[in-house]
Each structure stands twice: as C-alpha cells, then as structure tokens.
Amino acid sequence: MKTKLIAPSLLSADFGNLQRDIEMLNNSQADWLHIDVMDGRFVPNISFGFPVMKTIQQHAKKFVDVHLMIVEPEKYVEEFIDYGADLVSVHYEACTHLHRTINLIQSKGAKAGVVLNPSTPVLMLEDIIADVDLVLLMSVNPGFGGQKFIENTYKKIAETKDLILSNNSTALIEVDGGVNLDNASKLFEAGADVLVAGNAVFSTENPERTIELLKI
C-alpha cells in the first residue's frame, strides 16, 4: 500500500459538530482519519479520550489512525483497539519496552506504528524497524496543531527509507505536523507514504477540495 495517503487530523475539527466533520471526511478523498490523543503529561496539552473515540467509531468509515501522545501507552492500547483503531502508534520516547508494546498492538489485530519526536534520531529504530507497520515522523514538537513544519524532517525521511530498505521492512512512512499545500508534494517525493494534515484542511473554506489538492 505504498501510495499518497492523506490523513486529516480531527484535532482541528469542530468538536461541537464532530459528526458533521467526520461525515465530511467520509465523503472526501481522505484515506485515513488521524486521531491525536494527548494526556497533558507526555505533551503539554490535553485533547480527548474514550468518549470521543466512541463517537468516531460510530461515524467513521475510513481507516482509523490513532496517535497516542501519552505516557505508559501500553495501559490503553487494547481499549483504543476496542474503540475501532485500525492502527495505533506509540512514541519511542514514551515506551520503556517498545518491542513488547508493538507486539501487544499487533496481537490484538491492529497495525502498530512507532513515532519519533523531531529530536530523536532515526537510528534508534534499527532494532525495531522489522517489527513495525509504520514509522511516524513528527515534523513539529507534538502537542498542538497549526505549528511550523521543521525542515530537518526531509533528512529523516531519507534516513527512514534507507533503514526500511536495508531491513526488508514493509513499514510505511507517515509525516505529522505543519503539512500544507506548499510542502505536501515535496514530502511525497521525498518518500512519505502518509501525510497528516490538521490545520491545512480544517482552516480552509473547502476542506474536501484541500484534501484533493494535498494529493497532487
């Protein structure tokens, strides 16, 4: 499944009209729904948890991509899968026993991703790359939508691609933070398979059209 996928982040949706926004995404060319869960400990912001996941599960018709920005994610991954997560990504920086957590996610029938903060080197993935379904490269410091893209991400995409190839891994590369109409095509060219876009989609007058444009 190596293709240009767009994963709008619901963090930038209108939570008073969440069902409406999910239905808009169902009818759009969005490939995945990106769900940002923040605990106020791993990141300096709190987003939402299981009650909102329940609404997402009731209405979403797309692949559900859950990004856990929480400490001790192993305590909660099973519940997120029960609430319909197709993919659960956990931060390298939040997992003492990353291999065990990745195995746990996959044993419950979901895909498993590992996330790197902007300051964490790609080489830290050398001994887990063969086991993960996805590498999520943060292109902003996690915690908030609408931040500026960090250019060093291009270098990390190239390094991740090399690591994937040299280990015969099938992992996808996802990029998250500050993605917009100016950098999306460059990111796909550089080797990204999936782009997350929050602000770039929801701050526009025609989010469905913006999703189409992000794929060009």
State which of positions 83-142 bind ligand DX5 (CB under 6 A).
140, 142
| Residue 111 contact, options Zn ion, ligand DX5, none, Cβ 5-8 Å cut-off depending on partner type | none
Q: Of 99 and 209, which CB lies nearer to ligand DX5 in the complex structure? A: 209
Query: In this complex, which beta carbon is closest to ligand DX5, that of residue 34 or of residue 111?
Result: 34
Q: Give the contacts of 212 (CB within 8 A, at least 6 positions apart).
A: 28, 29
Please identify, using beta-carbon distances, which residue of 62 and 130 lies nearer to ligand DX5. Answer: 62
- Among the options 36, 39, 133, 193, which is catalytic? 36
User: Can you tell me which of 67, 111, 156, 161 binds Zn ion, judged by CB under 5 A?
Assistant: 67
Binding site annotation covers 177? yes
The closest of 41, 138, 32, 128 to 85, measured between CA atoms, is 32
Annotated binding-site residue? 178: yes
Is residue 36 within a helix (H) or strand (E), and if so which, with residue range?
Answer: strand 32-38
State the DSSP code for 55: H
In this structure, what are the phi and psi dihedrals at residue 115, rounded to the nearest 5 degrees?
A: -110, 140
Q: Which does residue 198 bind out of Zn ion, ligand DX5, none, counting CB within 5 to 8 angstroms by kind? A: ligand DX5
Q: What radius of gyration, in Å, describes the C-alpha atoms of the chain?
A: 16
Of the candidates 70, 176, 194, 214, which one interacts with ligand DX5 according to CB under 6 A? Answer: 176
Q: Does 174 help bind Zn ion (rule: CB under 5 A)?
A: no
The minimum distance between CB 36 and ligand DX5, in angstroms, equals 5
Q: Which of 153, 169, 199, 210 binds ligand DX5 (CB under 6 A)?
A: 199
Tell me the C-alpha distance between 113 and 148, whole Å.
Answer: 23
Q: CA angle, 12 as apex, 11 and 15 as ends, to 5°?
A: 80
- Per the rule left: phi > 0, alpha: psi between -120 and 50, beta: everything else, 4 is beta
Distance of CA 161 to the CA centre of its chain: 17
Q: Which of 39, 65, 176, 193 binds Zn ion (CB under 5 A)?
A: 176
Do residues 146 and 198 touch, judged by C-beta distance below 8 A? yes
39 binds Zn ion (CB under 5 A): no
Unique residue bearing structure tokens 């409406």 = 20
Active site residue 176: yes
Which residues are known binding-site members for substrate? 9, 67, 143-146, 176-178
Which residues are known binding-site members for a divalent metal cation? 34, 36, 67, 176
- The residues annotated with a catalytic role in the active site are 36, 176
The residues of the shown chain that bind Zn ion, judged by CB under 5 A, are 36, 67, 176
